[in-house]
Structures are given as C-alpha cells and as structure tokens.
Amino acid sequence: MSYKEYMRKAKLAPEDGDVIEIMDIRSRVFSNALVNAQRDIPTVCCTYNADITSFWTEYEKLKNTCSYPLPFNTLMIKLLVEGLKVAPRLNAHIEYDHKSTSGRIIIKKHIDVTVPVCSEDGTTYQVKARHLEDKTLSEIAEQLEEIKYRLGKTNMKRAYFNVAGQRMAGYAAKGKITSTFAQFRSAYFGKNKIAVFSKLFMKKYYKSNSKGKYEGLRADDFTEGTVCFTNWGTLYDRLDVNITYISPMYPSVFLLAAGRVKDESFAFKDANGQVDIGVKKILPLTLIFDHKIGGAADIMPFIEKMDAIFANPAVIHQW
C-alpha cells in the first residue's frame, strides 16, 4: 500500500464510485442550528400518550361545520399556544455562557411557533408563524395557508443565503470571530463553497420583484421562533413511529412533537364498574425542553392544560 493510499484510508476519504453530495445552503444553515442545539441544550424528554377520543369527535364536528380549511395540524398549533399561555417559561429564549456559567432566560412577549412546512417538491422547511398568542383558530389557519402560498413564491437560495448572513453577523457581534471567519471562508472559497449569484441571476431576481409587491417569504421567516413544533404524524400519516428525541432549535427552550393518531384497544371499567374492552384514539406527544430553565414545575402547567382540554374538548368551538 502506497503512502497516498494509506492516508486516504486513514482519513476515511471517499473511494472510487462513491456518490458525493455537497451540502446546499439550506442544509448548512439547518445543520448549524442543530449542532448548536445539541451542544448547548441539556435536554429533558417526556412522552405523553393523550386519549383524544372525545377531542377527535369534536374536531370532526368543527372541521365539517367551520367556514375555513382545518387540518389537524392547525388545531395542534392552537393547542400548543393555549398550553404556553399557562406555562410562559416554555415560550422563551435562553442565553448562557459556559465559561462564566452566567446567563439569562428571556420570556418572550409573543408566541412565534416554528413549524415544518412541505413545499411542492416534498422538501420540508422550518418556517415561523408569528404572534399567535391572541389569534383565533381561524386566524391561525389563515396564517398557515398564507405561509404555504408564500413558500411557493420564495427564492429559497436567496432567503437562506440571507439567513446565513444574519447568523454570521450574530456570531461576530458575540465576539466569535473564529467561527464567523470559518463560515465566511467556507461560503466563498474552496471546493465546497456556496455558489455566488451571478449578475444575470441577480438582475432577473430584482427585475421580477420590481413589477409588484414581493410575495415570497423573507430571511426572518426562517429564523428561530420562540417555540418549536414538529408534526411528523400529520405530515406523513403513513409514518407509524413516535418521536422520542429531537433537540429544540437554539435559543428556544421547548419543542412539542406530535406523532400519528392511532386507534388502540384498552381494557377499562364502565359506569357500573365492570371491565370492558374498547377502542380509543391515542395521540403520542413528546415534550422536550431545556433543563437549564428548570424542571417539572415548568412543564406541569402545560401538561395540566392539555389534560383539561382533552377532558373538555367542546372548548375548541370557542377558539
């Protein structure tokens, strides 16, 4: 074995015939956020199998009578918002310095939920739904429909390029010069650089937007919200798995993950105390939060609110 071959194997370098995919701008921005989250967030996860049998019945009634489209995902976001109202420390950003062990929790005034939205080609983007704390269910549904529409009008490369620029500026403002320089160098130089927009491309982009109001999403729509929601169960209804762990998007401190609604058989006692077997609808939920903000005292109000809504589901007609 030659020295060159030896070093290639030592570095686990690609071999002939391997397929190499270079990360695009979206993957780089998203991966950077996930790495920061894994590094900076000591996470607590708890699973919550909610009995939504009656809740589902009320949802079906509302869905068939309301004057607007009502996917179950929209109702779940409203449910999240109602829970955060009684557990405001979960709707927060955290700043923490490992060296000095000092930090602060910023409890946010507005509830901005980061939600996954699928484009027409099946790609999932994390988009921020803003100021949901005072919105009705119909207003939330309208905002989510608008996000889907605007996603189709968005120049994604340009939007994520601006997101990356904002984050580099944020690193520089915090004194992380080495990280800022490394990201800048990898973006503009080397074999894995991000393609710079040509003058012709930029001319066409601005020309197309000069004819009228720009309808696409902007960079700030892809930055972190105050809380995260992921909904594999509703986006992919054939995906029969439960999410057991996924890190919140730093600097958020809380993430709610919803699985697929399932029909499950249960043994229970009826009104006469007799054991019976029946089918209930179960919604697997995973509640994930940053342990730095506290513990059970912070998450219990949220869970108690969920229990109250599932026990009295007619309340959704007032939303």
- Looking at the structure, tell me whether residues 147 and 264 fall in a common domain: yes
> Structural domain of residue 207, as residue ranges?
155-215
- Looking at the structure, tell me whether residues 297 and 256 fall in a common domain: yes
Q: Is the pLDDT of residue 305 over 60?
A: yes
Of 183, 215, 247, which closes a domain? 215
CATH number at residue 227: 3.30.559.10
Number of domains within the chain: 2
Identify whether 25 is part of a domain: no
pLDDT band, residue 296 (cuts 50/70/90)? confident
- Looking at the structure, tell me whether residues 202 and 66 fall in a common domain: no
What's the confidence (pLDDT) of residue 129? 92
| Percentage of residues in the chain having pLDDT higher than 70 | 81
pLDDT band, residue 103 (cuts 50/70/90)? confident
Among 77, 91, 84, 132, which residue's Cα sits nearest to residue 293? 91
- Looking at the structure, tell me whether residues 147 and 48 fall in a common domain: yes
Q: Measuring CA to CA, how many Å separate 6 from each of 2, 15, 20, 204, 230?
A: 6, 12, 21, 49, 44
Average pLDDT over residues 221-243: 74
pTM for this entry: 0.79
User: Residues near 101 by Cβ (< 8 Å), separated by ≥ 6?
Assistant: none
- Looking at the structure, tell me whether residues 199 and 300 fall in a common domain: no
Q: Is the pLDDT of residue 42 over 80?
A: no
- Looking at the structure, tell me whether residues 208 and 238 fall in a common domain: no
Identify whether 139 is part of a domain: yes
- Looking at the structure, tell me whether residues 202 and 179 fall in a common domain: yes
Identify whether 38 is part of a domain: no
What the block records as the tokens of 32 is 């950077």
What's the confidence (pLDDT) of residue 164? 73
What's the confidence (pLDDT) of residue 185? 67
Q: Is the pLDDT of residue 112 over 90?
A: yes
Can you tell me the distance from the alpha carbon of 49 to that of 261, in angstroms, rounded to the nearest whole number?
10
Of 215, 234, 265, which closes a domain? 215
Which of 280 and 234 is assigned the larger pLDDT? 280
Most trustworthy range by pLDDT among 14-23, 106-115, 261-270: 106-115
Identify whether 37 is part of a domain: no
Identify whether 90 is part of a domain: yes
Average pLDDT over residues 272-279: 79
Identify whether 22 is part of a domain: no
- Looking at the structure, tell me whether residues 63 and 201 fall in a common domain: no
Q: Give the pLDDT confidence of 71-93 residue by residue, as tens digits.
A: 998 999 999 999 999 999 999 98
- Looking at the structure, tell me whether residues 278 and 299 fall in a common domain: yes
- Looking at the structure, tell me whether residues 172 and 308 fall in a common domain: no
Output the CA torsion 271→277→279→284 (10° steps): 90
* Number of Cβ within a 10 Å radius of residue 27: 12
| Strand-pair category, 227-230 with 275-290 | unpaired
Of 190, 215, 240, which closes a domain? 215
Q: Is the pLDDT of residue 156 over 60?
A: yes
Identify whether 33 is part of a domain: no
Most trustworthy range by pLDDT among 8-12, 28-32, 221-225, 284-288: 284-288
Q: Give the pLDDT confidence of 174-224 residue by residue, as tens digits.
A: 667 776 666 666 666 666 666 565 554 555 544 545 455 777 888 888 888
- Looking at the structure, tell me whether residues 161 and 52 fall in a common domain: no
pLDDT band, residue 2 (cuts 50/70/90)? confident
- Looking at the structure, tell me whether residues 108 and 235 fall in a common domain: yes
- Across the chain, what does the average pLDDT equal? 80
Asked if 111 and 222 touch (Cβ cutoff 8 Å), the reply is no
Identify whether 11 is part of a domain: no
Average pLDDT over residues 110-118: 89
What's the confidence (pLDDT) of residue 192? 65
What's the confidence (pLDDT) of residue 80? 95
